[in-house]
A = this chain, B = another copy of it.
Amino acid sequence: MTSLRFVFLFLLISFSASAQKDYKLWLQYNSVTNSAVASEYKNNLKGIVVLGNSETIKIAEKELKTGFLDMLGSIPEIKQNIEGENNLIVGSQLDLSTEIKSELKADFEKINNEGFIIKSISLQKKKQIVISGKNDIAVLYGVFNFLRILQTNKSVKNLNIVDSPKTNIRILNHWDNLDRTVERGYAGFSLWNWQKLPDFIDQRYIDYARANASIGINGTVLTNVNANALILTPQYLEKVEALANVFRPYGIKVYLTARFSAPIEIGNLKTADPKDPEVINWWKTKSAEIYKRIPDFGGFLVKANSEGQPGPQNYGRNHVDGANMLADAVAPFGGVIMWRAFVYSEHDANDRAKQAYAEFQPYDGKFKENVIVQVKNGAIDFQPREPFHPLFGAMPKTPLMMEFQITQEYLGFSTHLVFLPKLFQEVLESDTHQKGKGSTVAKVVDGTLYQNKLTGIAGVANIGNDLNWTGHPFAQANWYGFGRLAWNPYLDSEIIAEEWLRSTFSNDENFIKPVKNIMIESREAVVNYMTPLGLHHIMDTGHHYGPGPWVSNLSRPEWNPTYYHKADKNGIGFDRSKSGTNAVSQYAPEVAKLFDNLETCPEKDLLWFHHVSWDYKLKNGQTLWNGLALKYQEGVNQVREMQNVWNKAEKYVDSERFNEVKMLLEIQLKEAKWWRDACLLYFQQFSGKELPAGVEKSTQTLEYFKSLKFPFAPGNG
C-alpha cells in the first residue's frame, strides 16, 4: 500500500497541487507536525461516540474522521457506547444521556438554537469531551469549531466553549445571473450550473455547503439582486429545490431574489401594484408553490426602485407597501423579506449619500415583523473606506441587516490582496451614539441595542467557478472572515486572520506573524493607493477597474467620479458639512458634530465630508496636496512590503500557491502605481503643485491613463 499512497501524494504535487490545495480552502487539515501537540491530541482523544443518525450527524462524523485522519494520521476508535475515558462524545441535547444533559444543564441555558458546547467533563470519574447543541446543525457547528482547535494547534485539555451565533441570518448574496455571468464576479462564473440542474449535482455544491457550514453561514441567496423573474417559474424552482436539498443537512437555507414585476413577466398580470388583489394573490400562490417544494425556503431578497429595478414606486406605492405585501405572502411559511435600502435617484438632486436615509428613516416601525431592511455598510457603495451608514441606529423599531461586499468590486477585483475583515470590523465598531455612547453598529446588527428579534449579516459573495473559488488565494480569507464576523460581529480581525492562515497554510510562527501583518495592513494599503483621506468613487466607470477621476460624461451625475471628488483650483472633497449638503445631520448629534468640524473630522474621512484647500495643514504638518501625494506613495510602498514579506514565506507554502500570490502581488504593485500616477497627475491639474519629496514620478502621461479602455473587464453589470 505504501507505494500506492506515495503515488497519490506525488501527483498532488506534480500535476495539480494548486487545484487541490486552493480548492480545499481553509479545510486543509494539514498534518500536525508539532509532536507535543499531536501527542496531546492522541492521548486525549482515544475514541469517538456519535449519537444520532441524521444526515447532518453523518456529515459531522465524516468530517471528524477526515480531520483526524488528515491531521493525526489515524482515526480514534469509533464506539457505539461510551466506554473508557478520553472519548469525544458528539450529539444533540436530545440524544445525550440524562447524566451528560444534567452535567451541561447550565451551558444549554446559555446557548440559542444554533449554539454549541464543547466541554471537557467528568463522567463517572472518567474524562470525556462532549460536543453538543440543541439540534444536529448546532452539533455540526461544534464539530467544525472543534476541528478548528486542532487545525490551529490549540490545546484540547479542559475545554469549555459555549458559543452561539449573535445573528439569525448569516447569508451570502450571490449576484449570479441565469446565464452564469456574475455581476461583480471576479472568480470565474457562477457555481450554479442551471443547465445541468436538477439532475446533475456538481460536487462543488456539496463542497460549497461544507465550507459555509464550517464558518456558520446558514443562508444563501442564489440569484442576482438585479433579478430575473424566470427563477420563480417551475422550470427553475425544480433546480432551486435540488440545491436546497443539497444544502439542507449543512444548515443552509436557500433564498431567492424577487423581481418586483414578476407578476407581469411570468404571471400574465397587467400590473405589479402591491395593493392590487390579483398581485397580492399571485405572490401568495407563488410563495405556497415554492414552500411546497422547499419547506424551509428562507424568503426573498429584493432590490426595488433602485438602479432601474422595478418596485412599488412604479405604482405610486412606497417601499413599506412593497415589502409588507411580500412579507404577508411568506409569513405563513416562516419566510422573511430582506428589503434593500440601497436606493438613490437620478431625479433627486440631493447628495446621493443622503438619499437612502431620507427615504427609509421615516418608515421606521412600519414594516411587518418578518421584514428586515438590508443596509450597505456605507452610504455610497462599498468603497475602500466609507463612514458607517447613517441608517444604523436611526431606525430603532426596524430590524436592520448589514450588507457587506466580499467581492472586491471597488478594491482591485481578485488580483489585489485586501483582507476585508479589517474593513468590516471598522464599520461594526463604529459608534452611532444613537442610544448614547457605545451604540455601535455591531449592536444594531446583532439586535442588542434595540432588542430586535430578527437580525442578520449579508455578504455579497466573491465565489465563482475558479479552481480556487475566489480568484485570489487570499480572497478566501474574506469569505472566511465574513462568516466568522456574521457569527460574532465582535471578533477581532487579527484573530480571524490568524485562524485562517493556520487553517489554510501553516502553523509556523515564522510564517504566521509577518503574513498576518500584511493581511492586517492590506486594507489601509488599498485605501492609500486608491482613495486616501476620504476620497471615494473615483474608479473608472461601469466596470470600476482602475482609476477614472476624470470621468464626467455619464448621463447620471452621481455616476461620475467628478461628482464625488469635486477637485478644483481651491481644493478637493465633497462638502457634506452643514455648509454643504448637510449629510452630517443624518448622524446622531455627537457624530454629526465630529464629522462637521474640520478640526475633529477624522482625517481618514476628511474629503468625504469636506471640500478642503490644497494648502490645508494636516495633523502631521503636511499640506493637503503633499499629504495626499504621500498617502498614494505610502500605498505603493505597502504593496512592496507585502511582496518582501511574501517572498520570505516561500518555504512555508506549497510552490503553486506561493507563485500564484507572488504573481498577483506583482499585478497589485503595477496597479497601485497606476492608481497613484493617474490620480496624482489628474489632481495636479487643479492643485498646480509639484510632487513632494519621496513621491515617485509617473513614467506615463495623464493622457495615456485616460486612453486606457477595458471593454471586457469582468463583472460589469
Contacts and interface: CB of A to CB of B under 8 A. Distances in A.
Interface of A: 2-12, 14-16, 18-20, 23-24, 27, 29-31, 62, 66, 69-74, 178-181, 186, 188-189, 194-196, 199-201, 203-204, 207, 230, 413, 415, 465-467, 656, 660, 663-664, 666-667, 670, 711-714
A10 B712 contact: no
Nearest to A471: B196
Contact of A19 (B20, B62, B73, B714): B20
A10 to B, nearest CB: 5
A189 B200 contact: no
Contacts of A15: 23-24, 27, 66, 207
B714 A413 contact: no
B195 A713 contact: yes
B14 A66 contact: yes
A6 B73 contact: yes
Contacts of A9: 4-5, 8-9
Contacts of A195: 186, 413, 415, 712-714
A179 B24 contact: no
Contacts of A12: 8, 12, 20
Contacts of A6: 5, 69, 73
Highest count of chain B CB atoms <10 Å: which of A186, A413, A465, A666: A465
Given A11-B24, A15-B66, A712-B179, A73 B201 contact: no
A188 B465 contact: yes
Given A200-B664, A230-B711, A16 B207 contact: yes
17 contacts: A2-B5, A4-B73, A6-B73, A7-B69, A7-B73, A9-B9, A11-B70, A12-B12, A14-B62, A15-B66, A16-B24, A179-B714, A186-B195, A188-B189, A189-B465, A194-B712, A199-B667
Contacts of A466: 465
A290 B663 CA distance: 25
Contacts of A23: 15-16, 19
Which 8 pairs across A and B sit closest by C-beta, in order of nearness? A3-B73, A18-B203, A5-B5, A7-B70, A14-B66, A178-B712, A8-B9, A5-B9
Nearest to A709: B235
Contacts of A179: 712, 714
B7 A31 contact: yes
Contact of A666 (B8, B10, B199): B199
B415 A200 contact: yes
A191 to B, nearest CB: 10
Contacts of A413: 195
A466 B203 CA distance: 11
Contacts of A62: 14
Contacts of A663: 199-201
A565 B74 CA distance: 64
Given A4-B31, A465-B465, 5 more contacts: A5-B8, A7-B73, A8-B9, A15-B66, A200-B415
Nearest to A14: B66
A571 B69 CA distance: 67
Contacts of A664: 200
A236 to B, nearest CB: 9
A243 to B, nearest CB: 14
A179 B667 CA distance: 20
Given A11-B24, A189-B188, A203 B70 contact: no
A47 B712 CA distance: 51
Contacts of A203: 16, 18-19, 467, 656, 660
Contacts of A230: 711-712
B180 A70 contact: no
Nearest to A189: B189
Contacts of A660: 200, 203
A709 to B, nearest CB: 8
B19 A200 contact: no
Contacts of A70: 7-8, 10-11, 14
Contacts of A73: 2-4, 6-7
Contacts of A189: 180, 188-189, 465
A653 B413 CA distance: 39
Nearest to A62: B14
Given A189-B180, A195-B713, A415-B196, A71 B7 contact: yes
A189 B195 CA distance: 13
Contacts of A29: 7, 11
A241 to B, nearest CB: 16
A17 to B, nearest CB: 8
Point out which of A5, A16, A27, A30 has the most chain B C-beta atoms below 10 A from its C-beta. Answer: A5
